Amino acid sequence: MTGESRIRFLRRLGLLAVGGVYVAAGALKVPDPKAFAVAIVEYRLIPEGLVPLLAVVLPWWEILAGGMAVAGVWRRGALALLAGLSAAFLAVGTVTLLRGMSPPCGCFGIGSDKIGPATIVMEASLLVLTGALLAAELRGKPGSGAVGSMEAGAGGGTTPAARG
C-alpha cells in the first residue's frame, strides 16, 4: 500500500466512523423525542421554549449530515455541520461538568450514560477527527463520492456548486 492509498484508506475509515456515530446517535433519538427533550432540559442551558423544537430537529441534523458525509453528497457542508455539532456538544458537556452537574448525556437516546470525563473525551475525539476530515476536504485533496466508491479523488468538490 502506497502512502497515498494508505491516507485514502484512513480517510474512508474516518468518514465511516464519524458518519456512523452520528447516524446512530440521531437514529436512537428519533423514536422518543420526549425523552430527548427531557435530556436537553436537564442540561439547563437551552431556553425551555426552544427545547421541543431542538429535540425534534437535532437528531435529523445528525442523521442527514452523518449519512451525507459517508455518501459523499455535500460532504464539505455535512462535515462542517458535524464539526459544529461536535464543538457545541463538547462545550455543553464541559460547561455542565464545570457547574458540578452530571445529567444523563442523552447522546445516544434513552439509557445514555451520564455526562463525565469519558463523554468529554469522546466529544473531543469526534471534534478532532471531524475537523481533520473537514480540513482535508477544504484543502481540495480528497475525493468525492461515497466512501465505498472513492477513487482517485481529484478535484475535491462534492457538490455541483463546488465543482462548478
**Sites of contact with other proteins (CB under 8 A):** 30-35, 37-38, 41-42, 44, 47-49, 51-53, 55-61, 63-65, 68, 74, 76-78, 80-81, 84, 101-104, 110-111, 114, 138, 159, 161-162
CB closer to other proteins, 81 vs 90: 81
CB closer to other proteins, 2 vs 157: 157
CB closer to other proteins, 17 vs 101: 101
CB closer to other proteins, 30 vs 150: 30
**Whose grid coordinates read 449519512?**
67
Widest Cα–Cα separation across the chain: 54
> What are the backbone angles phi and psi of residue 114, rounded to the nearest 5°?
-75, 160
Structural contact between residues 142 and 11, judged by C-beta atoms closer than 8 angstroms? yes
| Per-residue DSSP letter, 143 | -
Closest distance of CB 141 from other proteins, Å = 16
Say how far apart CA 96 and CA 45 lie, in whole Å: 9
| Per-residue DSSP letter, 147 | G
